[in-house]
Amino acid sequence: MELDQIIDNIYPLTTKSKDLIKASIIEVKFSKGHILFKANKIEKSIYFIKKGIARAYAYSDDNQITFWFGKEGDPIVSMQSYVNNQKGYEDVELLEDCELYELKMEQLQKLFLEDIHIANWGRKFAELEIIKSEKRLISLQFENATQRYLALLNNYPSLLQRVQLSHIASYLGITQISLSRIRANVK
């Protein structure tokens, strides 16, 4: 997905303000398997996915638990770093060769204080992340694993072709064996 579209989908900006953001963005490429964010580290950038797919995970005992998937157009953010300038608790792994837009937080924070339109863009960016997070919360609390599985496929139609089932199972909060049983029943 192209940069202009990603920025405008969050909050429409004048050309002038958009150019200020774009001047702080560079395009970067990484290979499949690259670890973009490391847990217990303060991240200095946020990213937007131009092409590819990624996941965030953390460890519970020795198990990796995936709690986020990102696809084209989605932001990749360590919220603890972005909001509080503190260490994050997640690794982010790229699941395919990826093209990303990188935005340095320091420059963005400066723009927030200088340009009211960009401040409102940043406000809207955060608000949209709340909505995503709230939807996920409600899905975890109100739906059973089968419903969550079907909803996930609905949101990310190509996910099954791009991500291994063990990651999907941990995202759903169940074991891979339970996911197999669900798939056997749903088919």
Partner DNA sequence: TAGCGTTTTTATCATTTGTTAAATGGTTTC
Partner DNA sequence: GAAACCATTTAACAAATGATAAAAACGCTA
Q: Candidates 44-52, 78-86, 113-121, 165-173 — which segment interacts with DNA by CB under 7 A?
A: 165-173
Could you tell me the smallest distance in angstroms from the CB atom of residue 99 to a second copy?
26
Q: What is the dihedral sign for C-alpha 108, 92, 59, 66?
A: positive
Q: Which is nearer to DNA, 56 or 95 (CB)?
A: 95
Q: Does residue number 24 form part of the binding site for DNA (CB under 7 A)?
A: no
Could you tell me the smallest distance in angstroms from the CB atom of residue 46 to a second copy?
12
**Partner whose binding site includes residue 154, from a second copy, DNA, none (CB under 5 to 8 Å by kind):** none
For the segment 123-152, give every residue that binds DNA (CB under 7 A): 144-145
Q: Does residue number 75 form part of the binding site for a second copy (CB under 8 A)?
A: no
Q: Candidates 50-58, 73-81, 106-114, 175-183 — which segment interacts with DNA by CB under 7 A?
A: 175-183
DSSP the chain: --HHHHHHHHS---HHHHHHHHTTEEEEEE-TT-EEE-TTS---EEEEEEE--EEEEEEETTEEEEEEEE-TT-EE--HHHHHHS---S-EEEESS-EEEEEEEHHHHHHHHHH-HHHHHHHHHHHHHHHHHHHHHHHHHHHS-HHHHHHHHHHHSTTHHHHS-HHHHHHHHTS-HHHHHHHHHHH-
Binding characters for a second copy, 154-173, by CB under 8 A (x = yes): -------------------x
**Partner whose binding site includes residue 165, from DNA, a second copy, none (CB under 5 to 8 Å by kind):** DNA
Residue from 41, 73, 180, 186 touching DNA (CB under 7 A): that is: 180
Measured in Å, how far apart are the chain's first and last C-alpha atoms? 32
Q: Does residue number 165 form part of the binding site for DNA (CB under 7 A)?
A: yes
